[in-house]
Amino acid sequence: MTAKARLGALGEQVAAKYLKQAGFKVVAQNYRKPWGEIDLVATKGGNLHFVEVKTVTKAENVLHETGEQGDDYEPADNIHPWKLKRLARAMESFMLDQNIPEEVDYQLDAILVYLSPKEQVLKIEYLPDIF
């Protein structure tokens, strides 16, 4: 597993724990289709939440998709329109695969996880209904 993949997996574990502590029930992780992946799927109050998780370490200056570099990098910067389109298609597939009626309320959320270089959680940011 690459360092980037390991960081992402750790962020997803942190996000799943955060959701559970906030009263969500995590019903799926890493739902994959050729056209997209959903990091977490959770339910709360009869609503279905598809969750995109973005993780960074505070000390690293991660490159933006635009090639910019700097301390002002935010993981949400990597949730682009093309990513949202792929997520929407994966969400539709999940609902079909699980026989979830179209009437069920659902939304796309994001969780941003900030870790220290020693992989300690510095900050978790929950962004509801981003799409």
Contact 114/73 with Cβ under 8 angstroms? no
What CATH number corresponds to the domain at position 78? Answer: 3.40.1350.10
The percent helix, strand, coil of the chain (3-state, each to 5) is 30, 35, 35
Q: How many angstroms separate the CA atoms of 24 and 16, rounded?
A: 9
- Averaged pLDDT for residues 35-56: 95
pLDDT tens sequence across 66-115: 444 455 666 666 677 778 889 999 999 999 999 999 899 999 999 999 99
pTM beyond 0.75, yes or no:
yes
How many structural domains are present in the chain?
1
Q: Which domain holds residue 114?
A: 3-127
DSSP three-state, residue 111 = strand
